[in-house]
Structure 1
């Protein structure tokens, strides 16, 4: 059985960058499940699998189609219980929901402002037009104005990591001695920036940097299979 993971990319189809797809790629690797990556652009999403989704990731596992990175993780946990756990119990699942909320509310908006122009510049022209229109509608201002605000977002970015930094001073992963899905949630945000933008969000000597390097090495170096921008 061949699993397919539909993965967002720019004009270079060998460089998938979606933070949410990276959560799923790491989850599949964590479970030891083989999969093929199907690269797609923003404007191609609605055409895949007969219009099954308007967002990625989308996973085809045999006859089953699953969307949303958290739902995919839950599906993998239920379907492959004999494989390494992504949640290690109800408590870890609940904590992962909190981590997802923190990542979406704190990390993603800041990262978006920092790298938004880099994302745009790496897209095909048809996707650039879509990206500009959709992001300007979301932010209520021009793409250039959002990008200009990225400087202040970068200047204060390290402060936003303090809860994560505090934890990683005392343990190697959010999951403890070994990673869980909570790690992949946060990893996705940093991997997104690493692949798309030459701007560096993490500094040497930071416990968060050390954790990110450990995550890049997981599963045979899956995270390093795409080089940094």
Structure 2
């Protein structure tokens, strides 16, 4: 039986956009494992596996249910050691944990403020109510106010991505000559924005933009299986 990955979608179930679930989508492809995706809207997630968690991704592998993207990645690495390694060894696993902290603590926070109203736009009405209430409490202002003036704030993201910009001048992936889970950690976040919002985060032809294109091409263009958002 194939693995089952529960992930997040908006009104269109064919456009799953969770940054954390995309990390695991790519990890499963890297491992060469068969899996089934089951997209769910925000308000249906708590009922998937109450004993495991209230957020996606949730991975079901036989009688095992694992939540949290990092826990799932390490589970896949340890449970399927005969498949290609996500980390390339213990040092790579430790380095990926640093990348995760950088992406979660810096990059994702900046991106959320650039696209939060766009995310609301793609949700079904019940999820829109939930999303607006919880995010406006989190940010202390309306979604419209959070996203206002984003063109001027795009430079903040470029600054946060500068370490990667410099690295990619000498190698094609965070993992070196080939991608590892460190690549998927950041790619998932950029894929979240690409699918949920028409606002372009990256200047074209920069090392980071070119790296994202390489990631989109991985696994026969798996990342491109969900088209980028378009302005209405």
Structure 1, unaligned runs of 5 or more: none
1: CA distance, partners of 2:150 / 2:54: 27
Q: Are the counterparts in 2 of residues 3 and 35 from structure 1 also a CA contact under 8 Å?
A: yes
CA-atom RMSD in angstroms: 1.1
Q: Are the counterparts in 1 of residues 52 and 66 from structure 2 also a CA contact under 8 Å?
A: no
1: CA distance, partners of 2:194 / 2:93: 27
2: CA distance, partners of 1:125 / 1:37: 23
Q: What is the 5 A alignment of 1:1-229?
A: 1-50=1-50, 52-229=52-229
SS of residue in 1 equivalent to 2:65: strand
Describe the superposition over 1:166-188 as per-residue Cα deviations: whole angstroms up to 9, x where unpaired: 11110010000111000000001
- TM-score, normalising length: structure 1: 0.97
Deviation at 1:104, TM superposition (A): 0.9
Deviation at 1:151, TM superposition (A): 3.5
1: CA distance, partners of 2:50 / 2:160: 40
Describe the superposition over 1:18-45 as per-residue Cα deviations: whole angstroms up to 9, x where unpaired: 0000000000000000111101000111
Deviation at 1:148, TM superposition (A): 1.3
Deviation at 1:51, TM superposition (A): 5.0
Deviation at 1:12, TM superposition (A): 0.4
2: CA distance, partners of 1:42 / 1:139: 18
Deviation at 1:137, TM superposition (A): 1.2
1: CA distance, partners of 2:149 / 2:112: 10
1: CA distance, partners of 2:2 / 2:185: 25
1: CA distance, partners of 2:110 / 2:74: 27
Number of residue equivalences: 229
Deviation at 1:155, TM superposition (A): 3.6
1: CA distance, partners of 2:49 / 2:213: 35
Write out the 4+ residue segments of structure 1 that deviate beyond 6 Å after TM superposition: none
Deviation at 1:149, TM superposition (A): 4.9
Which is further off, 48-57 or 11-20? 48-57
1: CA distance, partners of 2:152 / 2:55: 29
Which is further off, 189-198 or 51-60? 51-60
- TM-score, normalising length: structure 2: 0.96
